[in-house]
Structure 1
Amino acid sequence: MHRRHFLGNTALAALLLPLARGTDARAAPRGRLLPPPLNKGDTVALVSPSSAMDEPFDLQLATEAMQALGFKVKTGAHYANRYGHLAGSDAERAGDLNAMFADREVKAIICARGGSGAARLLPLLDYELIRRNPKVLLGYSDITALHSAIHAKTGLVTFHGPIGAGSWNRFNVDQFNRMFFNRELIEYRNIADAGDELVQRKNRTIPITGGKAQGELIGGNLTVLTALAGSPYLPDFSGKILFLEDVSEAPYRIDRMFSTLKLMGALDRIAGLIFGECSECDPGDGYGSLNLAQIFDDHIKPLKIPAYRGAMIGHIRQQFIVPVGGRVEMDADAGTFRMLEPVFQA
């Protein structure tokens, strides 16, 4: 789902640099926290922490999808509300999240959609409550704000992947079953299908810098992540594998956001980079533009860390379910990464 543009300019990021450098100490969790495993028959909650649904019928489809996966469904008290473009007031949306983390019957929280507005909730979330009641949280795009803040404040492993009202196609359902029901240590490898082309074009991965690296995954939507610069809601980037994706951003904006990550010291601390899809990120009209390949050459190659792009992560129909905080090994030459440890309580 599309989220609104709300990133400030690089000059603002530079002003926030002293705060960004101090973020790690203030946000450091007590240790990695794993959610309990899921089973068919469990109750899951549908919440709307970001934008309101464009088509109200999509909320019914989200409920039906969760039921088809084998769950009972609870919905947030305000998940169908609307306040401007948002799914209710900040207090209502944060209240639904806190209530579902507190509800002992609920075993997972599925975000109905992304859009914009989740960052507004971060000061209103009860992180001690979340720490005491760890559970699966699933969503992507604007939900990056929740993944980042909850992991930074509690250490909880959350999951970047399909939203409730998104496409539950065969690939996404298989990812869900392998992650949550089979609890596999998944190897993430793009679908290899050339279709009627002589050589494969779709779902190709492209090395930026070859090599292998290990570390915990952090990241998500590039715009949402960089908009948290200077706040206490970013996790420590040191030694991490950073995964990113975006949608409807001109290359000059992508360049500016990588500049923000560089200025705040994040890029210099990561062990590897996995870039997913940047959907609808073509240059606009005018005097010309850097392309994405040049942006990666400028910002990522000088780091001399393993990095590749084209992973099935982002605003695409078939997408990986990625554990934020999960420990992985990436292989930039092969364009793959694999989980090294379980991400659920034993």
Structure 2
Amino acid sequence: MQMDRRAWMGGMGATLVAAKAPPVAPPALVKPPRLRPGDMVGLIEPAGFTDDAFDLALVMETIRAMGLVPKPAAHLAQRHGYLAGRDADRAADVNAMFADRQVKAVFAVRGGWGCARILPFLDFATIRANPKLLVGFSDITALHLAFAAKAGFTTIHGPNAASSWGKFSWDAFRAVAFDGATPTFASPVGVEDRLVQRTGRIRTFGPGKATGRLIGGNLTVLAALMGTPWLPDFTGAILFVEDIGEQPYRIDRMLTQLALAGVLGKLAGVMFGQCTDCGPSGASYGGFTLSEVLQQHLAPLGIPAFQGAPFGHVANQISLPVGIRAEMDADAGTIRLLEPAVS
């Protein structure tokens, strides 16, 4: 019996790949309306809380600076332990924003933890009937993945409302959400006082170009949803993942989980973004670096794959529309949208 080479993960063992049924074309993706100046947008906290009124005031100012009108969710200022209110209340805010015809998009104020807890409470019949952009990253990944599986329309993995929104991030978001453009994204070139720049560099684990639907987000959140009904089909997708505060062995463990679940073997390409504070703690003699872990998992797949894309827990990040077809170039470290994310 012959093993599928892409099921082997760099000496970790192997899994048998079942015979694949003929691919079934996914239903047509709905494009939410683009944002326009003067639009009202909802502000939700589906995960962690913000308990400083000044911080929330800055969020309101940020939304207004975009030319939009903020509408705080009913439970925005609540707190329940480390969550922004009880699960049913946070879910009710999401449901209400998608049911409200005046609200044209929904921004998560911040991430944290808690989005997965509200998934059973979401009214996907109402959400599907009212396609509008959902914007955010980090723990908001749980919503992006669930919407990709259950709602059938584009969402945007981009800065949270409370993010810094520098020019790089704002220009990328505006191009995707307001202009309906199809830009090519690349890491900004560093301006360090060095003969050779180090920031903005990429590492290629599999050369070439790949085309597919963009699916992904935070690796920890994605791995935690394995085995649940809240994940979309990854067949032929370009997986993009990022993380923060995870040591290499934890990244190894999560990628192993994706491999054993059959996700990595279905992909057309992989983009690993920024992994902030992901070095080993203390002495690590004999340990693997993050790049070595990625090499072990991604190179054997035989598909285009690279590390260093400009998204994650960093000040400057691009906006990636989940579900949109794109082309990645693992040698150049670029991602090009092949269709608009909005109508």
Same fold (TM over 0.5): yes
For residues 305 and 167 of structure 2, the distance between their equivalents in structure 1, rounded to whole angstroms, comes to 29
Instruction: Check the 8 A contact 1:307/1:332 in 2, yes or no.
Output: yes
Deviations, residues 181-215 of structure 1 (Å, cap 9, x unaligned): 22210101111233322111111111111100000
User: Does the alignment pair 1:330 with 2:328?
Assistant: yes
1:1-346 correspondence to structure 2 within 5 Å = 30-53=27-50, 55-285=52-282, 288=285, 289-345=287-343
For residues 138 and 209 of structure 1, the distance between their equivalents in structure 2, rounded to whole angstroms, comes to 30
For residues 292 and 286 of structure 1, the distance between their equivalents in structure 2, rounded to whole angstroms, comes to 15
For residues 100 and 234 of structure 1, the distance between their equivalents in structure 2, rounded to whole angstroms, comes to 22
Shift of residue 152, structure 1, vs aligned partner: 0.6
Instruction: Check the 8 A contact 1:49/1:93 in 2, yes or no.
Output: yes
Are the structure 2 counterparts of residues 285 and 66 from structure 1 closer, same or farther at C-alpha, using a change threshold of 3 Å? same
For residues 337 and 286 of structure 1, the distance between their equivalents in structure 2, rounded to whole angstroms, comes to 36
Task: Count matched residues.
Answer: 320
Gaps of 5+ in 1: 1-16, 22-27
**Cα RMSD over matched residues?**
1.5
Instruction: Check the 8 A contact 2:80/2:86 in 1, yes or no.
Output: yes
Residue 162 of structure 1 aligns to which amino acid in structure 2? Answer: P
Percentage of pairs with the same residue: 50
For residues 212 and 185 of structure 1, the distance between their equivalents in structure 2, rounded to whole angstroms, comes to 17
For residues 259 and 220 of structure 1, the distance between their equivalents in structure 2, rounded to whole angstroms, comes to 17
For residues 119 and 335 of structure 1, the distance between their equivalents in structure 2, rounded to whole angstroms, comes to 31
Shift of residue 55, structure 1, vs aligned partner: 3.3
Deviations, residues 254-283 of structure 1 (Å, cap 9, x unaligned): 000000000100000000000000000011
Instruction: Check the 8 A contact 1:118/1:146 in 2, yes or no.
Output: yes
Three-state SS of the structure 2 residue aligned to 1:198 is coil
Deviations, residues 200-251 of structure 1 (Å, cap 9, x unaligned): 1111111111100000000000000000010000111100000000000011
Query: TM-score if structure 2 supplies the norm length?
Result: 0.91
Gaps of 5+ in 2: 1-14, 19-24
Moved over 6 A (4+): none
Shift of residue 285, structure 1, vs aligned partner: 2.5
For residues 260 and 51 of structure 1, the distance between their equivalents in structure 2, rounded to whole angstroms, comes to 26
Shift of residue 108, structure 1, vs aligned partner: 0.4
Which stretch of the first structure deviates more once superposed, 77-86 or 28-37?
Answer: 28-37
Shift of residue 179, structure 1, vs aligned partner: 1.5
Deviations, residues 11-53 of structure 1 (Å, cap 9, x unaligned): xxxxxx9xxx9xxxxxx97431211111000000110000011
Three-state SS of the structure 1 residue aligned to 2:341 is coil
